Amino acid sequence: MRRLRLRRHQSMLRIVAAVALVFGVTVIPLAQAQRPAGPNRPSAVPAGYVITPFGYFHPSCVRGIASGETVLADGRVQHMGGTVDAIAPVCSHPHYTARGEVVTGDNSRVDPLTIVHSWIEDGSTTTSTSYGKLNATWLVPSAPTTFDGQTVYLFPGLVDYNTDETIIQPVLGWNSFFGEVWSVASWNCCPSGTTQYSSPLQVSTGDTIYGLIKSTCKAGTESCSKWNITTKDKTTRKSTTLGKTPSEGQAFNWAQSSALEVYEIVQCSDYPPNDATTFSKVALYDYNFDKISNPGWSITDYYEGLNPQCNYGGQVTATAVTLDY
């Protein structure tokens, strides 16, 4: 049974890669492609879609950005050596939230909102201006004890609260890349309607993950056009960076010290058995790069009415946020 499931998974990855090539999309090697949505996906999500930290996407709308490549303001990619794509990729397919709500390909939205309703809970804060830097550290949990095709994401992030259209984030994911293991990548959703990620790295339970989001502009720039997102495994000293990724003209004034996002959870044992993840050494900076001593983190729940209910909640201090599950 497991061997058959692996063959099916490999076949789906070949389909993902083939579709992406037809649409002129740069893909990370097959073993690193996103996991195709499984039978427990919402009924509205078509077969062949893949899971990302921003919802279910058509594979042609998900792009891997290799080390040394830069996404330009118009969505084109400048490759190592200086060559630039002739045209910018534009997603012509709708994507879907974790609950199956449709979002049109032109990046407009249908209520409810596209980002927060994919989440279970987060520790967040806002400002009337904008932030310039956010970093946090957390441990890779144990693998879930049951498998129902689920994907689990844990990350900090920055969002423009006024638009809620884009999030930039260093992400730890289980069953995201490489199959039923933990991995990290840095993500930006969604320039030109596509979602972009850096080269993923496999990580192990107990490893220390460091996530960094930083403006590339000089101090005092309230709305920087380019950002660096780095996800580092401090245990192995390996890292992956999405460099100079565009902000789409947004000012990031909504910070998540931590967030839990899941797909296709069927039972509570589909979560890691640790029961909680703590994001420590959390540091948030304003757009002058001055550290904010007490950001005022608070736990927001998006789990009311969801099934299953798994003892969700959390605790906060100025420099640490714990998410319970």
- Tens of pLDDT along the chain (325 residues) come to 333 333 333 333 333 333 333 333 333 433 346 778 888 888 899 999 999 988 889 998 898 888 788 777 777 788 877 788 877 777 888 888 888 888 764 444 333 333 334 689 999 999 999 999 999 999 999 999 999 999 999 999 999 998 877 899 999 999 999 999 999 999 998 766 788 999 999 999 999 999 999 999 999 999 999 999 999 999 999 999 999 999 988 999 999 999 999 998 989 999 999 999 999 999 999 999 999 999 999 999 988 888 899 999 999 999 999 999 9
On the question of a cis peptide bond just before residue 190, with omega within 30 degrees of 0, the verdict is yes
Distance (Å, whole) CA 314 – CA 90: 38
Is CATH 2.40.50.40 what the domain over 2-324 is classified as, yes or no?
A: no
Which residues make Cβ contacts (< 8 Å) with residue 249, sequence separation at least 6? 223, 225
Joined together, the tokens standing for residue 265 give: 């959870």
Distance (Å, whole) CA 93 – CA 83: 27
Q: Are 202 and 181 in contact (CB under 8 A)?
A: yes
Distance (Å, whole) CA 33 – CA 56: 14
Question: What single-letter amino acid sits at 98?
Answer: A
Joined together, the tokens standing for residue 297 give: 């983190």
Question: What single-letter amino acid sits at 116?
Answer: V
Q: Is 12 helix (H, G, I), strand (E, B) or coil?
A: helix
Joined together, the tokens standing for residue 236 give: 């192995």
Q: What is the pTM of this model?
A: 0.81
The full set of domain ranges for the chain reads 2-324
Which residues make Cβ contacts (< 8 Å) with residue 203, sequence separation at least 6? 140, 172, 182, 183, 184, 209, 233, 235, 236
CA angle 244-194-56, nearest 5°? Answer: 125
